[in-house]
Structure formats: structure tokens, C-alpha cells
Amino acid sequence: MSTSERHSRFDAWLAGEYERRGDFTVMVVLVDIAETRIDLLRSTYMNVIGDETRWVELRELLSGSGAAWNGAAFFPVSAFFNGPVPNDIARSELRDLEDRLREDRRVLNEGHFFDRKGRRLKVDELKH
């Protein structure tokens, strides 16, 4: 395992997010990135309790989804809520996010978007 995989941008993001918020709920969207398109594959939400999770562990967990993903975006549920949110709120927030992503993949930029190595990604609009 390379040093960059042991200390990914994801790890730094999670530690900083946890320091600011404490425990929180995050929506996760897995995507397949091809030359000129991004396909939405799977989505879920999870509660982050502590900042001990590292990218290599989470990548392994996400790989158990059965989806051939190469990008993952994380969207903390609104800071309006303190701590993890109830399941009904998380499900509602996730449905809203999925609707927005179906309309415009650039919504991925509103979250924290990473490749399989835990490096930051950004969606740019194609110029025709």
C-alpha cells in the first residue's frame, strides 16, 4: 500500500469534518466515471461516529456493494441537525439528492468527491 493510500485526502476531509461537527450523518453516492459521462450506481447513508475510519477500510466496505464504482461522493446532512439524524430524515435527504443528481451530475461538486485512491475529484462541464 502506498503512502498516499494510507493518508488519503478522504482521511483528511473526514478528520476535519468530524472536528467541526462531531458525530454526523453522511449520504454516499457511488458512481462509474467514463470518458464523457458519469453513471449513478448506488447510494446510501451512514452515521459517522468518531473519525477513526480510514479510506482503505471504507473503500473495502463500499466494494461490497457489488457495484463496479470508481468514484464516491459524500454529502454530510445539513449542519442544521446536530449529530446523526433519524432514518426518515436521512432517507428523505438522500431521495432529494438522488433527484438532483439525475438532473445534473455537477451536483457531485457540492459534496466531497473522491476516486478509489481517496483523491479529490471535480466534475467539469463538457465544452462542445
Q: How many domains does the chain have?
A: 1
DSSP type of residue 34: -
Instruction: Let me know: does 110 contact 123? Beta carbons within 8 Å.
Output: no
pLDDT tens-digit series, residues 46-78: 999 998 999 999 999 999 999 999 999 999 997
Residue 9 within a domain: yes
Residue 42 within a domain: yes
Banded model confidence at residue 6, pLDDT cuts 50, 70, 90: low
Residue 85 within a domain: yes
Residue 53 within a domain: yes
Spatial distance between the Cα atoms of 2 and 35, rounded to a whole number of angstroms: 26
Residue 128 within a domain: no
Q: What's the pTM?
A: 0.90
Query: Which ranges in the chain belong to alpha helices (H)?
Result: 3-6, 9-21, 55-63, 87-103
Q: What range defines the domain where residue 41 resides?
A: 3-115
- Measured CA to CA in angstroms, residue 73 lies from 28, 85, 99, 122 at distances of 6, 19, 15, 10
Residue 121 within a domain: no
Cβ neighbours for 92, distance < 8 A, ≥ 6 positions apart: none
Residue 67 within a domain: yes
